[in-house]
C-alpha cells in the first residue's frame, strides 16, 4: 500500500458515510521511520505528519522544514511536562492532553509565548491501566478544566484496546465530543481508519500502511 492508496480509501470511506473527504485529515505517522521514507512522502506532496516523541520530532523536522513548505506536525504520543515548551515550538497540534498538570503547563507556556497549538484531549476509552488518557467518566470535567484555562481544545483522541472492536470506542469518543460541543475526533489507525471515518473521525493516524513496517530496532 502507499499514500495514494490510503487517500483513495479515505475518500471511499467518507463517501460511503455521506461525508466529504475534505473533512478528514490524514496524519502520516512518521515515528521511527527512516528519513528517506519520510522524504519520499513529502515529495509526493503530503504535509501533515505525526510523531510520538518530541525528541525524535526535534531531530527530524527542522531540517525537513527548511526544504519543504507548509509542514504541519502533530504530537500524538504521551507528553512529559518537561517537553511541553519544545513540543509547542515544533507542533501545530498536540493530541495527548491527558491530565491536569499537563494542561496547566501548556496554559502557562501559552501565556508566556502568546500562542498555543490545537489541542486534543486523550480519552482512555478502554479504561486500560497501562494506557494514557482521562477515563470516560472524567472527560467532561477535564474538558471544562481545560476551557477554564483558555486552552484551544479542538477535539478528542483515543486508541482503542487491540483486542476489542474499535467501532465501540470510536462511537463512545464521538458521543463524549458531541455533548461537549467538540468537532475534532482523532481516531483510527492503519487497520481501522475506515470504521473511524464512518463514525465521524476528522483526523486519522496512519503509519505502516503509508510507509511500510518500521525497521526492527537494534
Query: Is 216 inside any structural domain?
Result: no
Query: Is 38 inside any structural domain?
Result: yes
Query: Is 146 inside any structural domain?
Result: yes
Q: Check whether 216 has a pLDDT greater than 80.
A: no
Query: Residue 140: CB partners within 8 Å, gap ≥ 6?
Result: 176, 179, 180
- CATH number, domain at 46? 3.20.20.10
Number of separate domains in the chain: 1
Structural domain of residue 205, as residue ranges? 3-211
151-185 burial code (b ≥16 CB/10 A, e <16)? bebbbbbbbbeeeeebeebbbbbbebbeebebebb
Query: Residue 110: CB partners within 8 Å, gap ≥ 6?
Result: 88, 116, 150, 151
- The three cell numbers of residue 158 are 483515543
pLDDT in tens, 177-208: 999 999 999 999 999 999 999 999 999 999 99
Give the number of other Cβ atoms within 10 Å of residue 16's Cβ. Answer: 11
Query: Is 218 inside any structural domain?
Result: no
Query: Is 193 inside any structural domain?
Result: yes
pLDDT in tens, 83-135: 999 999 999 999 999 999 999 999 999 999 999 999 999 999 999 999 999 99
Query: Is 136 inside any structural domain?
Result: yes
pTM exceeds 0.75, yes or no: yes
Query: Is 190 inside any structural domain?
Result: yes
- The three cell numbers of residue 216 are 526492527
Amino acid at each position: 500500500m502507499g499514500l495514494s492508496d490510503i487517500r483513495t480509501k479515505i475518500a471511499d470511506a467518507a463517501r460511503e458515510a455521506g461525508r466529504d473527504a475534505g473533512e478528514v485529515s490524514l496524519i502520516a505517522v512518521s515515528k521511527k521511520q527512516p528519513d528517506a521514507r519520510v522524504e519520499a512522502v513529502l515529495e509526493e506532496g503530503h504535509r501533515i505528519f505525526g510523531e510520538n516523541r518530541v525528541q525524535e520530532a526535534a531531530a527530524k523536522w527542522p531540517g525537513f522544514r527548511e526544504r519543504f513548505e507548509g509542514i504541519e506536525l502533530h504530537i500524538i504520543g504521551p507528553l512529559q511536562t518537561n517537553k511541553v515548551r519544545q513540543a509547542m515550538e515544533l507542533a501545530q497540534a498536540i493530541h495527548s492532553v491527558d491530565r491536569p498538570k499537563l494542561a496547566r503547563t501548556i496554559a502557562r507556556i501559552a501565556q508566556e509565548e502568546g500562542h498555543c497549538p490545537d489541542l486534543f484531549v486523550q480519552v482512555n476509552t478502554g479504561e486500560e491501566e497501562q494506557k494514557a488518557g482521562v477515563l470516560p467518566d472524567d472527560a467532561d470535567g477535564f474538558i471544562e478544566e481545560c476551557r477554564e484555562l483558555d486552552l484551544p481544545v479542538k477535539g478528542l483522541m483515543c486508541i482503542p484496546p487491540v483486542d476489542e472492536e474499535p467501532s465501540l470506542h470510536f462511537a463512545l469518543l464521538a458521543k463524549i465530543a458531541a455533548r461537549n460541543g467538540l468537532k475534532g475526533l482523532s481516531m483510527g489507525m492503519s487497520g481501522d481508519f475506515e470504521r473511524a471515518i464512518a463514525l465521524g473521525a476528522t483526523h486519522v493516524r496512519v503509519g505502516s500502511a503509508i510507509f511500510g513496517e518500521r525497521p526492527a530496532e537494534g
